[in-house]
Amino acid sequence: MNNITHVVLAGDRDYARYLLDGKPNKCLIEFSGKKLLSLTFAALGSASEVRRVIFVGPRNLQEKEGLIPDNLNGKPVIFLPQRRSLSENVLAASRVADKIWPGGLVVFLTNDAPLLTASELDSFAIAAAQSQVSVAIGVSKILDDQLCDPLVKQYIRSMVLTSDGLFLLANQIALRTAEPTLLKTLQKLFDVRKQSRWIPIIRTLLFALAHKPMRKGIRGWLRSVMAKRVWLLQRNTAFASRFGLSCAEIETRLTELLECESGIAIVRLSSGLGCFDADTVEQLTELRNLISTQNQSLRKLEVAHA
């Protein structure tokens, strides 16, 4: 598992409508006095399965003293200037990783998940490496009784409904660098992300219709879309999940859709705090509230044991 490279995607050119708090980049958003960038680096630095990091972002982040370190607890950090879009950042980082450390596994994470922990990074890296698949996608299961939680409520539209229950993407995806054709297909799919809205759904459908190998996957994908819409109209997971696919079926269909030789795996993380990213003002508010509460609890413990 030594041949794993972690890539932090922190570009802002393709994220103008998602930038928050008046900041030019989400990396600079503060949570209880700490920049989001610092929280991400702390998790990476503490994770035992993180060996090296490629950081992709605007040049000004590198130029600001102290923001992009040369290493994290002895782990080398390579800075890569952002490209024109998220998908191009993914492709560029994959090429750099494969050139320096050929044939390895690249784990991508977006720098907008302030609750991400070292244990999540470790458990996903281990599972992705052991699975020996072309693509591993991290997810976290959301139980019905969690839907009333103030933080979880802000991610209703982002949840994926399967016959196995509700899931949130855990902001970690692993790719094998030795499959350039797959990377190009995934690059296109990155450009039609954010499937919780109708416009990206229509764009995805048009993209699949225009590419013959992907047409066979349309039926299963539409089932997932329909299941989510039914659930949004009537919050009955047991009823709506009948329309959806199981996680195993999704793995099989994605493997066929992307024509992966080694397959695709959905990796369930027992602790999925990293799935709570900051895309809206409401999400940012709830994340700040939670982090502030956690910090206050820690300070009280420190005083009690002083």
* pLDDT above 60 for 29: yes
Given the structure tokens 């990377």, which residue do they identify? Answer: 183
pLDDT of 131 over the 70 cut = yes
53-57, 139-143, 245-249: which is most confident: 53-57
Query: Higher confidence at residue 207 or residue 117?
Result: 117
Percent of the chain, pLDDT > 70? 73
Write down the H helix ranges in the chain.
Answer: 36-46, 59-63, 86-100, 118-131, 180-190, 198-210, 212-215, 218-233, 237-240, 247-258, 281-304
Instruction: Write down the pLDDT at residue 87.
Output: 79
Say what the pTM is.
Answer: 0.83
Q: Give me the mean pLDDT over the 280-284 stretch.
A: 93
CA 259 from centre of chain: 22
The tokens of 52 are what? Answer: 């090296």
Name the most confidently modeled range: 43-47, 200-204, 249-253: 43-47
What percent of the chain clears pLDDT 90, i.e. is strictly above it? Answer: 35
pLDDT at 197: 52
Q: Among 75-79, 160-164, 170-174, 211-215, which is the least confidently predicted range?
A: 211-215
| Cα angle value 30/33/71 (rounded, 5°) | 80
Q: Is the pLDDT of residue 206 over 80?
A: no
What is the chain's mean pLDDT, rounded? 81
Which pLDDT belongs to residue 154? 92
**DSSP code of 155?**
G
- Compute the CA torsion angle 132, 135, 136, 142 (nearest 10 deg): -150
pLDDT of residue 205 exceeding 60: no
Question: Does 301 score more than 50 pLDDT?
Answer: no
202: CB partners within 8 A, 6+ apart: none
Task: List, in order, residues 6 or more apart from 232 with CB less than 8 Å away.
Answer: 156, 157
Domains in the chain, ordered, with CATH?
A: 4-178+261-293 (3.90.550.10)
More confident residue, 233 or 76: 76
Helix (H) or strand (E) holding 268: strand 264-268
The per-residue pLDDT for range 38-52, each reduced to its tens digit, is 999 999 999 999 999
pLDDT of residue 133: 86
- Residue 7 pLDDT: 95
Q: Is the pLDDT of residue 84 over 60?
A: yes
- Mean pLDDT over residues 247-273, rounded? 80
Give the pLDDT mean for 135-161: 88
